[in-house]
Structure 1
Amino acid sequence: SISIKADLSRTKGDYVQGKNSFTSGLLAEDFSEIENHYVGPTPPDKDHQYELAVYALDHSLNLKNGFYLNEFLKEVNQHKIDQTSINLIGRKI
């Protein structure tokens, strides 16, 4: 089994992280400090539904730091054994 520490994405470490949805040329603010980290659900205007997906793979993915979602999905589809997901509600606070 694999153990993942709480708030792992916020710590500096030797692991690969991809771009999140704060990466956009359409946003006026500069999110470069957090665009390669998990920040959790952040509904912009009202409660939103989010899907959390977990994949079982037959091989480690060959991705570099700062990868985009389409690169991730391409790699996953080549190595996916199984997957499951759950829908979660992110509350606007």
Structure 2
Amino acid sequence: SISIKADLSRTKGDYVQGKNSFTSGLLAEDFSEIENHYVGPTPPDKDHQYELTVYALDHSLNLKNGFYLNEFLKEVNQHKIDQTSINLIGRKI
């Protein structure tokens, strides 16, 4: 089993993180400190339902920092043994 510490993505650890949904090619400025880290559910207007999926893989993924979701899913589909999902409610604060 693997243990993941709370707020892990906020640390400057030696692990790979992909782009989040704040990414936009329309932005003129560099927002990599925001868009290259996990942010968590952030409903824009009301409570939203989110799906969290955990994958069991037979191999480490070959991804570089700043990867996109489609790159992640392609790699996962090549190495997936099993997966499980849970639906969560993100509350508008």
TM over 0.5: yes
Helix, strand or coil for the counterpart of 1:34? Answer: helix
The offset of 1:33, in angstroms, is 2.0
Unaligned runs of 5+ in 2: none
The answer for the alignment partner of 2:90 in structure 1 is: 90
The offset of 1:26, in angstroms, is 5.3
Distance in 2 between residues matched to 1:76 and 1:43, nearest whole Å: 27
Query: Is this contact kept in 2: 1:46–1:92, CA < 8 A?
Result: yes
Query: Is this contact kept in 2: 1:22–1:31, CA < 8 A?
Result: no
The offset of 1:32, in angstroms, is 3.1
Q: Report percent identity of matched pairs.
A: 99
Aligned length: 93
Distance in 2 between residues matched to 1:64 and 1:27, nearest whole Å: 21
Runs of 4+ in 1 over 6 A off after TM superposition: 27-30
The offset of 1:25, in angstroms, is 3.4
1:59-85 alpha-carbon deviations (Å, 9 max, x no partner): 000000000000000000000000000
The offset of 1:29, in angstroms, is 8.7
Going by fraction, where is helix more abundant, 1 or 2? Answer: 2
Helix, strand or coil for the counterpart of 2:35? Answer: coil
Unaligned runs of 5+ in 1: none
Structural RMSD (CA): 1.8
Distance in 1 between residues matched to 2:28 and 2:45, nearest whole Å: 16
**Equivalent residue runs for 1:46-61 within 5 Å:** 46-61=46-61
Moved more, 23-32 or 70-79: 23-32
The offset of 1:39, in angstroms, is 1.0
Structure 1 residues 65, 28: CA separation in 2 closer, same or farther (over 3 Å shift)? closer
Structure 1 residues 69, 2: CA separation in 2 closer, same or farther (over 3 Å shift)? same
Moved more, 1-10 or 14-23: 1-10
